[in-house]
């Protein structure tokens, strides 16, 4: 058999118990709220722009009808 040497030495617990160290540290990460907010804001702006365009078209149609009748 071929013996394989490990890069890391084997560590055996002394009292047959394994312990894990919990190290609390800051982990930088992207904020998800900002990206969701910007997507929602973008949708709202498009909806608002569409509504404003509809109102302008209706106002122009009313003006045209007013000019035709006079």
Task: Give pLDDT, residue 16.
Answer: 65
17 lies in a domain?
Answer: no
Domain count, the chain: 1
Residue 15, SS3?
coil
20 lies in a domain?
Answer: no
pTM score over 0.75: no
Helix then strand count (H, E) for the chain reads 1, 0
| Separation CA 45–CA 50 (nearest Å) | 9
59 lies in a domain?
Answer: yes
Task: Give pLDDT, residue 59.
Answer: 93
12 lies in a domain?
Answer: no
Task: Give pLDDT, residue 13.
Answer: 64
14 lies in a domain?
Answer: no
| Separation CA 59–CA 16 (nearest Å) | 83
3 lies in a domain?
Answer: no
């Amino acid at each position: 058999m071929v013996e394989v040497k490990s890069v890391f030495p084997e560590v055996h617990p002394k009292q047959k118990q394994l312990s894990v160290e919990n190290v609390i540290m800051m982990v930088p990460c992207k904020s998800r709220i900002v990206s969701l907010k910007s997507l929602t804001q973008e949708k709202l702006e498009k909806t608002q722009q569409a509504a404003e365009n509809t109102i302008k078209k209706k106002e122009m149609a009313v003006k045209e009808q007013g000019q035709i009748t006079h």
